[in-house]
Chains A and B, each alone.
Chain A
Amino acid sequence: MRAARWLIPLGGAVVLVGLFLLLRPTDEPEPLATPSPTVTGTPGATPTPTPATPEPTATETPTGQDALEVEIEVDEGGVEVQVEDQRVPNPATIEVTQGQRVSLRVEADVTDHVHVHVYDLLADLTPGRRATITFRANIPGVIEVELEDAGQLLAQLEVRP
């Protein structure tokens, strides 16, 4: 009888361990295992801003071919987001693999700033002129891209390991 009382927690523990082993993804994290055209090569191959030195990299230069292309258009308060030329429904969530390069191109009909939070990257926006922010997504999390002065959410970057 006494042994039986210990069997229940023991059985529970076995079930818990077994479930963990069963449910846990067997391989490496999925996104890395599946080959994707947007995943970059070796991290650090190109110089990127690190979180320690958050220098704004608002550039007009064309980006590398391997970067995830994100286009954001702000028109009369409405936001339209395209990832690799595919329209994303609002509120836009953009899935990014940690370590991947991202190229954000933003066009707006207002004068404002586009702000990638956490990475702390800022670029000026003026009507009729496209701003581009290119960076390597090294920080995991759900990151906000915001129209800074208006306080309007443009998109969320979901940077997954």
Chain B
Amino acid sequence: MRRLGALAGAAAVVATTAGPAAAHGLGGRLDLPVPMWLFVYGAAAAVVISFVALGALWKEPRLEDGAPGRILPGFLQRVMTGPVPDVVVRALSSAVFVLVLAAAIAGRDEPSRNLAPVFVYVWFWVGLAFAHALLGNWWATLSPWDTLARFLGIGERTRRPYPKAWGVWPGAILLTGFLWMELVSPAGANPRSLAWGIGVYTVITMAGMATFGREQWNRSGEAFAVYFGLLSRMAVLARRDDGRVMLRPPLSGLPGLEPRPGLVAFVMVIIGSTTFDGFSGTSTWLSWTGGLSGMGLAVAGTAGLLATILAVSMAYVLAMGAASAVARTPWHPLAVRFVHSLVPIAFAYVAAHYFSYLLLEGQGGIALLSDPFGFGWDLLGTATRAINFTLLSAVAIWYVQVFAIVAGHVAGVILAHDRSVAAFRSSLAMRTQYALLAVMVLFTMTGLLILSGG
């Protein structure tokens, strides 16, 4: 995420071995470290809330059946689910997809002068994450790959049954690939590399849909569909089984998450990659990799990314191992059953790390919409719009970051508690929760520690 723009001489970066020296932001900005007192406060708040939750939360499950929700009025239903808006949105998103791909292929080979990098890494990856977590799953309609497959008649029928054991593993692997390109690859922000990335991903997606059917691939192998789908379970808007849109309490979609193979890995990839992104901006990482460049830096980054994902997974597995020893059940089904409670924590990480990125660096896309190829056009009259970096004060960013992490922790604790009392007798439920609570406090502390500069 933090490498855009720094590669202004992207062609030079590809051609020579002189790679970038450090993790970078679009325009070379990182958030200031959170001050010590606020770090301490956030950490203390997480611990206090955890103990309150243990002592005071309900003893009977309340969230398991999912909230009934309230059906939205008719005209809103028609706007959101009608056939005409569906066609319009699909046409628009396909047009944008073609524009971004064209810019990546033929536009100027400079990340800061090309629409593709800021669009893919800020508007699409971060912007749509926020949109889905808050407003529900729009990707089913927005996905240009879904539209393309429908248009070409790909994946209408299943050629081969999807192996059940695969679960969302293909999605987790492809997501890791995208994140590697974003966070590690020295040429990740280069428009030409992006063009290759988009092209390869499109081919994989079409192949997956053609083999296993469009719907099946969308819920298993299409990494972004799985990612946005996971986040949208937190949202207040959702479609019921009958297709109507309802308003529901936040988080209430998460208990209904179907336990599938690879789901734990998928969530760990989100948490681990965000942790690594934050960590790679700290002076610790910079001093470790200070002497490296080019290939060495890419190798170190790859190792760092994978090691962080592994470490996060280990922490969760250990906690579930402890819980399973208490409950005398195998740990693996337990790990899958409780992973929904980590989704708000994963989103909190994303929100804390990237919200200033979306609101500040994301502004860069406004100018580039007028000049997507960097040819000096001014289609919308916005080409000279500079980024207003003083839109957010440093203090405002700090408060939002710490609030996001603590709020994610609270949501995770509530969801885990509800599942515990649903799954076990009350005395056992309390004791299985300790392990989960410990790992949540650990994730929250890590998140805060990295925000405070590690």
Chain A residues in the interface with B (C-beta under 8 A): 5-6, 8-9, 11-12, 15-16, 19-20, 23-25, 51-54, 90-91, 93, 98, 115, 117-118, 120, 138-144, 146, 148-153, 156, 158-161
Contact = CB atoms under 8 A, between A and B. Distances in A.
Given A12-B48, A19-B45, A91-B283, 19 more contacts: A20-B41, A53-B386, A91-B286, A117-B29, A118-B27, A138-B390, A140-B32, A140-B393, A141-B30, A142-B30, A144-B6, A144-B24, A144-B28, A149-B12, A151-B13, A152-B21, A153-B20, A156-B30, A159-B32
B287 interface: yes
A15 B48 CA distance: 8
Contacts of B321: none
B394 A141 contact: yes
Nearest to B388: A51
Q: Max chain B CB contacts within 10 Å: which of A98, A142, A143, A161?
A: A142
B7 interface: yes
Contacts of A16: 45, 48-49
B73 interface: no
Per DSSP, are chain A's interface residues mostly helix, strand or loop, or mixed? mixed
Interface of B: 5-9, 12-13, 18-22, 24-25, 27-33, 35, 37-38, 40-41, 44-45, 48-49, 51-52, 55-56, 281, 283, 286-287, 290, 386-390, 393-395
A6 B52 CA distance: 10
A24 B290 CA distance: 35
A158 B32 contact: yes
A143 to B, nearest CB: 6
Contacts of A143: 28-29
B290 A91 contact: yes
Which A-B residue pairs are the 6 nearest by beta carbons? A117-B28, A144-B28, A12-B52, A153-B21, A140-B394, A8-B56
Contacts of A9: 52, 56
B407 to A, nearest CB: 13
Given A8-B52, A91-B283, A143-B29, A151 B9 contact: yes
A146 B28 contact: yes
Given A16-B48, A51-B387, A161-B395, A141 B7 contact: no
Contacts of A51: 386-390
Contact of B37 (A23, A53, A149, A160): A23
Contact of A151 (B19, B29, B31): B19
A15 B286 CA distance: 38
Given A141-B389, A142-B29, A151 B20 contact: yes
B405 to A, nearest CB: 14
16 contacts: A16-B45, A19-B41, A23-B37, A23-B38, A23-B40, A51-B390, A52-B386, A54-B386, A91-B290, A93-B283, A98-B394, A117-B6, A141-B31, A144-B25, A144-B28, A149-B12
B419 to A, nearest CB: 20
B9 A149 contact: yes
A11 B33 CA distance: 30
A24 to B, nearest CB: 7
A160 B19 contact: no
